[in-house]
Amino acid sequence: MSRYDYKHQLGTSQSPVTRRISLMQAIHLDAPLLGGLLVLVCVGLFVLYSASGQSTDTLLRQLLRIVAGFAAMMVMAFIPPRTYKRWTPWLFGIGIILLIGVLVTGTEAKGAQRWLAIPGTGVRFQPSEIMKVVVPMMLAWYLAERALPPGWKPVLLAAVLILVPTLLIAKQPDLGTSLLIASSGFLVLFLSGLDWKYIVGLAAAAVPAGAGVWMVMHDYQRQRVLTFLDPERDPWGAGWNITQSKTAIGSGGWEGKGWLHGTQAHLDFLPESSTDFIIAVLAEEFGLLGICALLLIYFAIVARGMYIAMNAQDTYSRLLAGSLTLTFFVYVFVNIGMVSGILPVVGVPLPMVSYGGTSIVTLMSSFGILMSIHTHRKLVST
């Protein structure tokens, strides 16, 4: 494998001229990944148009965010990986400070403190979004300097690096995001070759940990878990969302009711149809075939991401690219799993499809990093 990689590297380096004249290479974009993302975004806009009740206004605003996302991606792709590596500890430090800042001064939004206002500008942002990228960077940075697979000491320290931001975000409280960030950190550990015995041990510890988490949970969080376990418990209240989304999905059948003909979404039965539950609209209007097509697009993107990771030239890039790609898939899985009723309802949007700005910009930034890793190549991999 490695031998093949080496030959491959030599192969590409033998024709530096061809590399330079490629426009995509020049602007540091990866064509297959870009193509996959563009298809996904287009599908998303189609579904959103229907889900929003054919609101061109919503569509334009989403388009604006996508453009902003692509801009962010291009900027991120332009920055070489070594710069990221150099800045990683600083970014992590700043991120932690911002998270503490949120807890101290954060503005209230929907009962939880997630937003931080930049003084004087009126711009608000969620530091936890930044951490979705920075935590895997930090883990990759830390582990890349260690002998891999990591021994128990680095694993312990890595665990601390994961737990600090996780707990800070959980405290906001934003259980969904904190778990996703923890998983992105864990994925770095996993890819670095974390011994299976740690993984089994972690799984074994999950049960008492779960009980502990239950104790410190907020009421609405417990409610979500209970509703997930038994949606029929309160069909008009907390269980309404999941009952209606399952109905929307199930009534789609093989081929769906047709674009703009989903009754669940259009008659307002489906809550959050433009945001977290948008997959139900797709399932209702395009059926099982639509779902399979979408999953195929996601898989293509994940596959390309993993290909980039495997071909990355240094450990930091490898770990970062791999974990960002897998985290992206975790979002997809958690969202579809929650909407279809196999996971509890945690507020995770469907990547690139759900209406909403922050998520798209964050995801596109991480794809920018992937492209940066793939397009800034050294002659010799380390």
Partner 1 sequence: MPKPITLKDHYRETRVFARRAVVSVFVVILLIVALVARMVYLQVLQYEKYSSLSDDNRVSVEPVAPTRGLVVDRNGHLLADNRPSYSVSITRELCPDIDDTLEKLSRLVEISDSRLDDFHKRLAQRRRPFTPVAVKFKLTEAEIAIIAVNQHLLPGVSLSANLVRHYPHAEAMSHAVGYVGRINESELQKLNATRYSATEHIGKTGVEAFYEERLHGEVGFQTIETDARGRITKVLERTDPIPGENLQLFMDLSTQLAAMQALEGRRGAVVAIEPETGGILALASVPGFNANLFVTGIDYATYNALQNSRARPLFNRTLQGRYPPGSTIKPIVGLGGIETGATTWDYSIYDPGFYKLENDSRFYRDWKKWGHGVVNLHSAIVESCDTYFYELAFNMGVDSIHDFMAPFGFGDRTGVDLINESKGLLPSRFWKKATRNMPWFPGETLITGIGQGYMLATPLQLALSTAILANHGNKVQPRMVKAIGGTPLPAPEVGPPITLKNPENWDRIIKSMRDVVHSAKGTARGIAKDLPGYDIAGKTGTAQVLGIKQDEEYDAEKIAEWHRDHALFVGFAPVQNPKIAIAVLVENGGGGGSTAAPVARLVLDAYFESLRQDANVPTTRAVQTP
Site membership for partner 1, residue 268 (CB under 8 A): yes
State how far the alpha carbon of 262 is from the alpha carbons of 58, 87, 244, 269, in Å: 18, 47, 12, 10
| Residue 215 near residue 229 (C-beta atoms within 8 A) | no
Cβ 327 to partner 1 shortest distance, Å: 11
The single residue among 21, 147, 160, 229 that binds partner 1, judged by CB under 8 A, is 147
| Residue 276 near residue 349 (C-beta atoms within 8 A) | yes
In whole angstroms, give the CA distance from residue 151 to residue 39. 42
Site membership for partner 1, residue 336 (CB under 8 A): yes
Pick between residue 66 and residue 353 the one whose CB is nearest to partner 1: 353
Within residues 173-212, the interface with partner 1 by CB under 8 A covers 187, 190-193
In whole angstroms, give the CA distance from residue 256 to residue 50. 13
The single residue among 32, 80, 149, 356 that binds partner 1, judged by CB under 8 A, is 149
Q: Count residues near partner 1 (CB under 8 A).
A: 56
Looking up tokens 């979408």 gives 294
Cβ 28 to partner 1 shortest distance, Å: 23
Burial class (CB in 10 A: 0-12, 13-18, 19+), 381: middle
Binding window for partner 1 (CB under 8 A); candidates: 168-176, 223-231, 280-288, 352-360: 280-288
Pick between residue 244 and residue 366 the one whose CB is nearest to partner 1: 244
The single residue among 251, 259, 300, 356 that binds partner 1, judged by CB under 8 A, is 251
Pick between residue 250 and residue 356 the one whose CB is nearest to partner 1: 250
In whole angstroms, give the CA distance from residue 264 to residue 241. 11
Dig out the tokens for 306 from the structure: 């993993």
In whole angstroms, give the CA distance from residue 371 to residue 171. 34
| Alpha carbon of residue 197 to chain centroid | 27
Q: Is the peptide bond preceding residue 344 cis, with omega within 30 degrees of 0?
A: no
Site membership for partner 1, residue 259 (CB under 8 A): no
Taking residue 263's Cβ as centre, other Cβ atoms within 10 Å add up to 14
Cβ 336 to partner 1 shortest distance, Å: 5
Contact residues: partner 1, CB under 8 A: 1-2, 5, 145-149, 187, 190-193, 236, 244, 246-254, 263-264, 267-269, 283, 287-288, 291-292, 295, 298-299, 302-303, 306, 309-310, 315, 318-319, 322, 326, 329, 333, 336-337, 340-342, 381-382
